[in-house]
Structure 1
Amino acid sequence: MTHYNIIGGGIAGASIGYHLISLGAKVTIYDREDSGQATNASAGIICPWISQRRNKKWYRLVTTGAKYYPDFIKTLEDETGLDTGYTRRGSISLFKNEEKLALGYNRISKKKDDSPEMGEVKIIPKEDINHFHPDLNNQYPGIFVEGGGQVKGRLLLHALKTAFLSKGGKWLTQEIPDDLDGYKIYTTGAWGRYQNSGPDIRHQRSEVLHFKVDSDVPVHTPVIMALGPIYIVEMDLNQFAIGTTHIDTDSFEAVPSKENYEYLRGLAERYFPDKKITDVEMLVGLKPYARDHLPFIGHVDDSVYVVNGLGATGLTAGPVIGREVARSLMGLDTELNLEDYNYV
């Protein structure tokens, strides 16, 4: 039996390991727990239908990922008894004016024919925004997509690791040995730029501010895609995350910057006017990108497989990539044509 060694324990590596071992494979995951891992800092928005990207291969990947989420989460939570923080309360995309709102509605709503899991799509006048998000600035109208959701990266990763270990997998917090034998799957994220083979990887630094809002209305809220683009997601009752900054960098420094803190804090005050805001934490994630911002998935030689370049859609695509890669390696049919993502 092939022994699969996965190098990198973020969402991609953990998902591949979980799906492989669920199919009866022997798997070891190596993870150094580097600061700046994208999974831990991600807001976990699952709403690919609102994207304006035109890359059909990318869109097929992320929409398949969103469709897979409900069944995947149910299975994982049933197996572990753990909460992944996955919710589907919809999403609202805000628009600067009525003209852009109409264009946005036309663009988003016509995708429903191919993606019924989107659910209802409707325009929300700015005076009705507070019916969905009582404390939010109601300066802008929006488009509500019922199927939009989110997942908490830290909780999902913990559940995947727990399930993986319960099925007999090994998870080692260390570098891989120099003499490591067996099949290797590299899911090293931003650190993939140091590999000797595979796609060229670059990364961006993103920062996210978590904060509390002093409010007498403890309600659950949809994901907000604000102007900028900026997102606002609920992390707990009256607690939100706002992001994100995207800065190209060669550094692996994961300490928040004062400049970006002040920028995000200013946005929080703009979108929550007349509310007392208290900082909770500031997180930094290093998001890896490959050519054309399209994830790379495939062999780079007979015994080395690479998954990288997931960028800002790692949590949307990671679970289904795990399923598809595991099935492919075990000789089973896949829903996606993985050759679409193997361009080395």
Structure 2
Amino acid sequence: MTHFQIIGGGIAGASIAYHLAKNEQKVTVYDRHDQGQATSASAGIICPWTSQRRNKAWYRLVKAGAKYYPTFIKELEGLTGHSTGYQQNGALSLFKDSHIQGLAYERIMNKAAEAPEMGQVKKLSPDELRTLHPYLTTHFPAVYVEGGAQVSGNMLLETLKLAIKKLGGEWIATDQAPKELLGKVIYTAGAWANEYAEDANVRHQRAELLDIKVNTNINRSDIPVVMGLGPMYIVNNGNQHFYIGTTHEDTVQFDTSENEVNRDYLLTQANRYFTEHTIEKCYSSIGMRPLTDDNLPFIGPVNGVYVVNGLGSSGLTAGPVIGREVARFLLGLETTLNLTDYNHLA
């Protein structure tokens, strides 16, 4: 039995550790839990099929991630008895006019044959949109994707941590990794990657989400996630609260203080979508999102250490399937994905 030691307790490290522990391996996770950890500050949208990105290696990864999620969540919650906040209430993509709505519908439908897990895809009338999301304006035409889902990054990490311990693994909260690591070392430090594995060439963006409260007497929990115009998205946060995001700031800093300019910008964006209700801005969640120059994750060996990083904005979608695939690869088992697609040094 190999002792796998994992540096970093975000979605990548936790998922790899869980899948290794499932395969009866000795696992230790060292988690510094830095402020700004991307997993904890993520909106958690799982709906890759609506993306217009043309990178085939990226799409193979996130499509596999979305397909794996229902099985992964059922197994994980069954083992622990702990909720991950996973909800599959569908997803709404909004467009500026009906012409673009029609083009988008055709584009998304063209992916359905190879991704039946996306479920029903439908162009919505304003009345249908209002039925699915009574808080939202009907000004923007929408396409509905039944398989869209959301998950809480914080709740998922807590459930993974519990599962790892139940399976005999260790989870060690520490400010620093041990000076001497024996066995197989896996480095999954997110935005802090370059403290050790500089060759992985991971940088980071500061991303800010705003929690808002919509003042209304409507109280629904079965609300689809929303992909708004441009990079905006809206996720139900319970009790008439929603996350809206996100900002994107390239940085080399790790500042997690709230930025009033960003908060006002996100509140202005929220007012585009909740036109019939007053809105209160509540609090911000700031995450340091690791990414690479080609926006593909880095998965592979660097100087004798196995590095998994740079998951970017699709980290929560791809993280669980990356954990499964990396665990299988390291154990010499057959993988579904070709991981050399994500080794930038190969």
When normalised by structure 1's length, the TM-score is 0.97
| Equivalent pair of 2:197/2:302 in contact (CA under 8 Å) | no
Summarize deviations over 1:126-176 as a string: whole Å, max 9, x none: 353211111211111011011111101110000000111111211111211
1:184 aligns with 2:185: yes
Q: Hey, what does 1:117 align to over in structure 2?
A: 117
- Aligned pairs for 1:58-137 within 5 A: 58-137=58-137
Q: Which runs of 5+ in 2 are unaligned?
A: none
| Equivalent pair of 2:203/2:292 in contact (CA under 8 Å) | yes
| Equivalent pair of 1:198/1:306 in contact (CA under 8 Å) | no
Q: Percent identity?
A: 53
Summarize deviations over 1:156-199 as a string: whole Å, max 9, x none: 00000011111121111121122222211010111112224431
* Alpha-carbon distance between aligned partners in 1 of 2:236 and 2:180, rounded to the nearest angstrom: 45
Q: Hey, what does 1:252 align to over in structure 2?
A: 254
Query: Could you say what secondary structure the match of 1:221 adopts?
Result: coil
- Aligned pairs for 1:264-303 within 5 A: 264-301=266-303, 303=304
* Alpha-carbon distance between aligned partners in 1 of 2:318 and 2:199, rounded to the nearest angstrom: 20
Q: Hey, what does 2:145 align to over in structure 1?
A: 145
1:214 offset after TM fit, Å?
A: 2.0
- Aligned pairs for 1:1-344 within 5 A: 1-174=1-174, 175-219=176-220, 220-301=222-303, 303-344=304-345
Read off the aligned partner of 1:318 and give its amino acid letter: G
| Equivalent pair of 2:212/2:241 in contact (CA under 8 Å) | yes
| Equivalent pair of 2:44/2:151 in contact (CA under 8 Å) | yes
Summarize deviations over 1:297-321 as a string: whole Å, max 9, x none: 11224x4100011000000000000
1:34 offset after TM fit, Å?
A: 0.5
1:2 offset after TM fit, Å?
A: 1.6
| Equivalent pair of 1:48/1:62 in contact (CA under 8 Å) | yes
When normalised by structure 2's length, the TM-score is 0.96
1:281 offset after TM fit, Å?
A: 1.9
1:255 offset after TM fit, Å?
A: 1.1
Query: Could you say what secondary structure the match of 1:285 adopts?
Result: strand
Summarize deviations over 1:188-246 as a string: whole Å, max 9, x none: 11111222443101111110011221222212210111112200111113111000011
* Alpha-carbon distance between aligned partners in 1 of 2:249 and 2:282, rounded to the nearest angstrom: 23
Structure 1 segments of 4+ aligned residues over 3 angstroms from their partners: none
Read off the aligned partner of 2:227 and give its amino acid letter: M
* Alpha-carbon distance between aligned partners in 1 of 2:185 and 2:86, rounded to the nearest angstrom: 30
| Equivalent pair of 1:4/1:183 in contact (CA under 8 Å) | yes
Query: Structure 2 vs 1, CA of residues 101 and 274 (structure 1 numbering), >3 Å: closer, same or farther?
Result: closer
Instruction: Tell me the number of residue pairs that the alignment of Structure 1 and Structure 2 aligns.
Output: 343
RMSD: 1.2
Q: Which runs of 5+ in 1 are unaligned?
A: none
